[in-house]
Amino acid sequence: MKTEAKLLLGLGTFFGAMVTVYWFWGNENAGSVMMFAGMLLCFLPGSYYYWWSRRMKPRTEDNPQATQAEGAGVVLALVFGIWFLVPGLGLAVWALFGGTAEGRRGGTH
Amino acid sequence: MTDVLDPPVVVEHHDEHHEDHGPTGILKWITSTDHKVIGLSYTITSVIMMVIGGLFAEIIRAQLTTPNNSLVSLAQYNELFTMHGSVMIYLFIGPFAFGALANIIVPIQIGAPDMAFPRLNALSYWLYLTGSITMLSGFFVAGGAANFGWVAYAPLSNSINTPGAGADLWIGGLLLTGFSAIFTGVNLTATIFYLRAPGMTMFRMPIFTWNLLITAILILLAFPVLTAGLIMLYCDRHFGTHIFSVAGGGVPVLWQHIFWFWGHPEVYILALPIFGMVTEIIAVFSRKPVFGYKGMVFATITIGALSLGVWAHHMFTTGVVLLPFFSIMSLLIAVPTGIKMFNWIGTMWRGEVWFSTAMLMAIGFLITFLIGGITGIYLASPPLDFFTHDTYFVVAHFHSIVMALMMGAMGALYYWGPKITGYLLNETIGKIQFWLLFIGTQVFTLPMYVLGLRGMPRRIAIYPLHHSWQYLNDWASIGALMIGLSTVAFLVNIAYSWKKYPAGDNPWDGHTLEWFTTSPPPHHNFYRLPQIRSERPTWDYNHPGHTAAEHGHSAAHRDETPVEAPTS
Amino acid sequence: MALLPLGALVLAGCGIPTVGNSPGATTVSKSVYNLWQGFTLGALIVGGITIALIVWAVFAYRRKGDNIPKQSQYHIPLETTYTIIPILIVLGLFVATMVVENKEEALPKTNVTIDVNAFQWGWKFLYPGHDVVVVGQTTQEPTMVMPINENVHFNLTSSDVIHGFYVHDFNFSRYAQPGVLNQFTIRATKLGTYDGQCTQLCGLYHSLMVFRVKVVTKAQYAAWLHTNYNPVAATAAFAALKQQTSSITPTKIDESEGNN
């Protein structure tokens, strides 16, 4: 999960630098607010992933030496009754997302 | 220790078990949450939108063949170019780029059985379809469809200047398609972060998937801004607010800031997936790995990041934006784009290049995008933009770009079409399509650059005789006709090749995971999965003596111990 | 930066045919044109090299058999080179841009001012201090008269929607926007009548919003002002304009400079 975290944190940092330069140089409100919001949008899940990646067990997809046999249980579990398990998995992941998404200020509300 | 030649793990299936319970026929299509079905729906719908937008274009070009022409009225012309741009950008390339092939291919490329949120995925498609119909229904209301340009600048788009329902249907359609895109952005990000197969580390993902990840993040950063702006515009039109009107203390140029803050990332949302498609095609048809894989990834991330800081280069002539900031940021985007261009050439370099239709389209993309990209650099300089803005120079610039994207998209349909349908398209008709498209594009765009430099403004329905603009306009119209004919060739090819040439699992000797499975893939995409030890698991499996670790240098997987060569 | 004037010189000397733009009729339009030529020189070089590489690859590396070529994946020195060189080129283009940019803003004010008011679907040119106003819609094609070799200061605004004030031979355009007073200074260097047109979509008759700019000698300009002296029309026009613009802070293109 580290790469994902670094990607988002890196983007957020870049936007932070950009909005700082833009605000002091251009002093324009709309663009500064939008860039600032974009920075937050990256930092929120990014910092969550960073925190989580240090606590979680390594996943098979992050292991360069992983074998398909190791992951097979997940795949097999998924094929039974797509109508029940994929939404269920989706909901579980969504729950993770939901907590980080609450503070999202991309402008949808 | 495992190596790529371990027998692939069999993924057990109990298809019969839950096929019994599913609906059949049209109800099955409507309720399907299979990413392949949804992606195919997106593909067909977006290609239909392309044809509709293309018809508007042909009418526009017909009107412009003669000075002071009256093929269409001034009012109709304004509707035509508004809806041409809107349909092409919002309803064709966008959904094609991130909803069509992305939906079908990304899960398979990372070894996943479906997208992370299949029902949300289905919702995305239905929002897209209904949004498209909503926007196009503007043609059937009094006052006609939206007519204020695909950018809907305030105050032109307010209720005083554009009172009809067509504008509101345009706004409503975009709200629906906007949410469709946002949900797809969520889905792609979650799928790529959470559903990769064992061994598929982030830096082993195909470049197409990487590009879709950055696209998805851009969608999440940009589309909510458009949605907010559209809601504000609707409020100004109907709820008595004065956000964009001077009379109530509002600021018209605020619309432009909001719109372009979305609008510039949007063009990269359109382009990055096509970049990914072209990358895959060039690698496979050169029989080489992607050159500079990590450079490609970082270039894409850089393009995505920079794209959020350049929006006001569309506003240089407003007089109210910080010119140097947006100029330098816009010029800088040329750097990672150039890196990608050289990496594409590097992939072909010393390869064994096979000129299938897909590869021809990719090469056509390279040349056409080069022209469009370079003319974009002119536009990044405010003094040069001041006299080219809102002239045909800009129209030519972005048409070079989007026609390049169209070539990439067509290449991807020839490349992945067999994987999705199980049947190849005819290569001879494909080549006819390519040459019509490539030559037609240059005949169409190059005269328009000159027209712009000669002072022809954009969005004008008629022009006077004395400017001597007719000659160039006629060439541009001929080019547009050739492009139209290339689309006809494409449709003819689909009809002609229908179920004629079975493709097999891997007709192109492809590198990435989707070529390991059947054509079309089974219900959860794989009967068996190989071990994943590089960004080219299928290639490694099929050509064990020619993995990058053995032949060239290998940067993509420095973190693992070397794979033993097979002894047999 | 010696490359740019050198490049322009080479191009001028070689007589590269212009494709529609020209040095134009003002001091700044000439600088803009030279910048254009510098950019074009760079574009031809970079674009030419890149297309040559593509064409070479297409011909030299076409499939000859069934061999699998060497699977090279990267080349750090090469990749670094084609990262650094574009950055340098881009920085050079930026510096050249800023030089011309600053030229546009450096013209000091004199006492010739023209207020330009765009409206759906025509133009109103007001001459403060002289009680002259020129108005025309669509096919009437109003003519804005200005003196040669004078720094003419423009105040540009709109009564309704956004319009584009564009004069091809000035190599220049600027938006006329409601609630915004755009200011710029132009010094014409060639006599003549030049075409102008609205470039920003403004509604039904956008295609017809044409005007002309006539650059005349100072004597002719004074005479023209005298002939078109019309205090009644002008007072009304100025009053209307004042209503629109009294609360607007004029824009400054660059906060650090600009004697606008």
What is residue A91's predicted lDDT score, i.e. its pLDDT? 56
Chain C residues in contact with B555 (beta carbon < 8 A): 73-74
**Residue from C31, C2, C222, C257 nearest C129 by CA:** C222
CB contact under 8 A, B384 and C87: no
CB contact under 8 A, B6 and A67: yes
Topology annotation, domain C3-105: Helix Hairpins (1.10.287)
- What distance in Å separates the CA atoms of residue A106 and residue A109, rounded to the nearest whole number? 8
pTM for this predicted structure: 0.90
CB contact under 8 A, A64 and B533: yes
What is residue C10's predicted lDDT score, i.e. its pLDDT? 52
Give the helix ranges, DSSP H, for A1-109: 2-26, 29-55, 68-79, 82-101
What angle is formed at CA B401 by the lines to CA C92 and CA B272, rounded to 5 degrees?
90
Non-local (6+) Cβ contacts of B379 within 8 A are: B313, B330, B385, B388, B389, B393, B394, B397
Superfamily of segment(s) C112-251:
Cupredoxins -  blue copper proteins (2.60.40.420)
Chain C residues in contact with B386 (beta carbon < 8 A): 32, 171-174
Percentage of residues of chain C with pLDDT beyond 70: 88
State the smallest CA–CA distance between residue A76 and chain B in angstroms.
7
Chain B residues in contact with A60 (beta carbon < 8 A): 197-199
* Higher pLDDT pick, B295 / C66: B295
State the smallest CA–CA distance between residue B125 and chain C in angstroms.
33
Q: B428, exposed or middle or buried, with CB in 10 Å at 0-12, 13-18, 19+?
A: exposed
**pLDDT surpassing 50 at residue B542:** yes
**Average of per-residue pLDDT across C75-82:** 94
Amino acid at position C224, single letter:
W
**pLDDT surpassing 60 at residue B4:** no
Q: Which of C36, C69, C253 faces B352 most closely, judged by CB atoms?
A: C69
Given CB atoms, is C233 within the 8 Å cutoff of chain B?
no
Minimum CA–CA partner of B375 in chain C: C43
Chain C residues in contact with B548 (beta carbon < 8 A): 71, 73
- What distance in Å separates the CA atoms of residue B103 and residue B484, rounded to the nearest whole number? 27
**pLDDT surpassing 90 at residue B397:** yes
Minimum CA–CA partner of A80 in chain B: B14
CB contact under 8 A, B377 and C178: no
CB contact under 8 A, C90 and B331: yes
Q: For B438-493, write each residue's pLDDT tens digit.
A: 999 999 999 999 999 999 999 999 999 988 999 999 999 999 999 999 999 999 99
Residue ranges per domain, chain B?
23-559
**pLDDT surpassing 80 at residue B100:** yes
- What distance in Å separates the CA atoms of residue B490 and residue B47, rounded to the nearest whole number? 11
Minimum CA–CA partner of B454 in chain C: C20
**Residue from A87, A71, A2, A45 nearest B196 by CA:** A71
CB contact under 8 A, C251 and B320: yes
What is residue B21's predicted lDDT score, i.e. its pLDDT? 58
Q: Which of B253, B335, B370 faces C180 most closely, judged by CB atoms?
A: B253
- What distance in Å separates the CA atoms of residue B480 and residue B490, rounded to the nearest whole number? 15
Confidence of residue B25 (pLDDT cuts 50, 70, 90): confident
Q: Which two tokens stand for residue B186?
A: 């969520």
Q: Which of B11, B200, B224 faces A75 most closely, judged by CB atoms?
A: B11
State the smallest CA–CA distance between residue C75 and chain B in angstroms.
7
CB contact under 8 A, C58 and B149: no
Query: Is the Cβ–Cβ distance between C144 and C134 less than 8 Å?
Result: yes
Query: Is the Cβ–Cβ distance between B548 and C71 less than 8 Å?
Result: yes
Give per-10-residue mean pLDDT for chain A (109 aa): 94 97 93 96 96 90 84 50 47 51 37
Q: B137, exposed or middle or buried, with CB in 10 Å at 0-12, 13-18, 19+?
A: middle
State the smallest CA–CA distance between residue A57 and chain B in angstroms.
14
Output the CA–CA distances (angstroms, integers) from residue C132 to B259, B370, B554, C216, C225, in the order listed: 39, 51, 76, 16, 7
**Average of per-residue pLDDT across B59-70:** 96
**pLDDT surpassing 90 at residue C7:** no
What is residue C255's predicted lDDT score, i.e. its pLDDT? 33
* Sheet with C172-176: strands ordered across: C143-147, C210-216, C192-198, C163-167, C172-176
Q: For B240-276, write each residue's pLDDT tens digit.
A: 999 999 988 899 999 999 999 999 999 999 999 999 9
**Residue from B375, B265, B386 nearest B318 by CA:** B386
Non-local (6+) Cβ contacts of B544 within 8 A are: B4, B5, B565, B566
CB contact under 8 A, B257 and A31: yes
Least confidently predicted of B220-234, C215-229, C242-256: C242-256
CB contact under 8 A, B557 and A15: no
**pLDDT surpassing 90 at residue B104:** yes
Q: Which of C39, C94, C197 faces B384 most closely, judged by CB atoms?
A: C39
| Beta strands C132-137 and C122-127, pairing class | antiparallel
Minimum CA–CA partner of C155 in chain B: B319
Q: Which two tokens stand for residue B397?
A: 């610039």
Residue ranges per domain, chain A?
1-56, 67-104
Residue limits of CATH 1.10.287.90 in chain C: 3-105
Q: Which two tokens stand for residue A66?
A: 């992983």
With a CB-CB cutoff of 8 Å, which residues 101-160 of chain C face chain B?
101, 104, 160
Confidence of residue B331 (pLDDT cuts 50, 70, 90): very high
CB contact under 8 A, A4 and B193: yes
State the smallest CA–CA distance between residue B34 and chain C in angstroms.
35
CB contact under 8 A, B201 and A61: yes
CB contact under 8 A, B321 and A69: no
Best residue in B33, B108, B117 to probe A by mutation, most A CBs within 10 Å? B117
**Average of per-residue pLDDT across B101-129:** 96
Least confidently predicted of B283-287, C2-6, C156-160: C2-6
Given CB atoms, is C238 within the 8 Å cutoff of chain B?
no
CB contact under 8 A, C71 and B548: yes
State the smallest CA–CA distance between residue C234 and chain B in angstroms.
24
What is residue B549's predicted lDDT score, i.e. its pLDDT? 58
Minimum CA–CA partner of C94 in chain B: B328
What is residue C251's predicted lDDT score, i.e. its pLDDT? 67
Non-local (6+) Cβ contacts of C85 within 8 A are: none
| Residues comprising chain C, all counted | 260
**pLDDT surpassing 70 at residue B221:** yes
**pLDDT surpassing 50 at residue B565:** no
Q: Looking at chain B, which subunits does it touch, using at least 3 CB pairs closer than 8 Å as the criterion?
A: A, C
| Residues comprising chain B, all counted | 568
Topology annotation, domain B23-559: Cytochrome C Oxidase; Chain A (1.20.210)
Task: For residue C115, report the phi and psi dihedrals to the nearest 5 degrees.
Answer: -95, 125
**pLDDT surpassing 90 at residue C117:** yes
**Residue from B321, B207, B319 nearest B264 by CA:** B321
Give the helix ranges, DSSP H, for chain C: 3-14, 27-60, 76-105, 218-227, 231-245
